[in-house]
Amino acid sequence: MGIIGADELRGANLGDQMVAVLGYGSQGRAQALNLADSGVQVVVGLRPGSANAARVQRDGLRLAALDEAVEQADLVALLIPDEAQPEAYEQVVAPRLRQGGALVFAHGFNIHYRHIHPRADLDALLVAPSGIGEQLRARYEAGNGIAGFVAVDQDATGQARARALAFAKALGHDRVAVIETTFAEETETDLFAEQAVLVGGLSELIEAGFETLVEAGYQPEIAYFSCLEEVKLMADMIHERGLADMKRRISTTAAFGALLSGPRVIDRSSRAAMRELLADIAAGRFAQALSAEMAAGGPRLEAEAARARAHPLEAVRRRLRGSRPRE
């Protein structure tokens, strides 16, 4: 486990193995293009009538139906949504992927919670970018990259780890860091970070800050900039310099205010809630809740999306964005 050294990555190569990328959303497009630009043979598999077919062709990649793409491949990258992967594996991939092929996952969810049971002759690999597809592609094109996590769940050929390292290198992860992990660790830490910090925690924090200011009589526009727009500025500084240097570079007023008030917002009860949600993730309770939500057609997700669109913060954002001069 840990960071994989440059010497080990230097010789990693997929050779003449064909990769079928199933799906062409944010992550699918980024990975397909990075792989192709790294000299890997790539075919993109899509369902008939997919809205993304024209984009694949504009990008200059080979396009095939899902079943045809799998039949050509040595490795199949399942880059369709997590909830759609089990059915796609059972109906399309398992009957067609050649003996000794490999399944490549960008998130360990379906393997960790055993929603997918790979055939005994297949390798099951994890190559998980530590960011969204747009970042993966943009940084690759700029000659940089983002870190990636690799793991092996099933090594049927004896080459599973070598395949994972080669795949990670072709995506450009070796330019930053390739970190060896397990499917369980990647899945649980990723879900926790999304829920507690990156999406769930951050969204609630922004909305609560905005609502607190507006309820106290401050202008919504000032509240918007203070609680939402400046988040990116701080995130950029933290990303470039780290938390410690960020706190050194901000004003004394901001630093002292954070010292006094940060622990009042993220207090013992907040930390207890984080431990509880991590326990739910590790025990599989979140995965069960997600499965139930998807089986019901996603009503809670739809309701939350509607609530977020109707929030006053969004009205302020649209108004301010619409009033800005075009760049």
Of 107, 117, 239, 311, which residue is the catalytic one? 107
Q: How many CB atoms lie within 10 A of CB 13?
A: 15
Whole-number Å distance between alpha carbons of 42 and 50:
18
Question: Nearest-CA neighbor of 313 among 201, 210, 202?
Answer: 210
Question: Nearest-CA neighbor of 154 among 183, 128, 109, 123?
Answer: 123
Helix/strand/coil for 51: coil
53: amino acid identity, one letter: A
Dihedral of the alpha carbons of 125, 131, 132, 137, in degrees to the nearest 10:
-90
Angle value at C-alpha 255, between 251 and 256, nearest 5 degrees: 115
Angle value at C-alpha 120, between 25 and 112, nearest 5 degrees: 50
Using a 10 angstrom Cβ sphere, with 0-12 exposed, 13-18 middle and 19 or more buried, the burial of residue 23 is: buried
Whole-number Å distance between alpha carbons of 194 and 309:
20
DSSP one-letter string for 127-153: EEESS-HHHHHHHHHTT----EEEEEE
Whole-number Å distance between alpha carbons of 40 and 18:
7
Catalytic residue list contains 107: yes
> Dihedral of CA 58/13/128/72: which sign?
positive
**Which positions are annotated as active-site residues?**
107
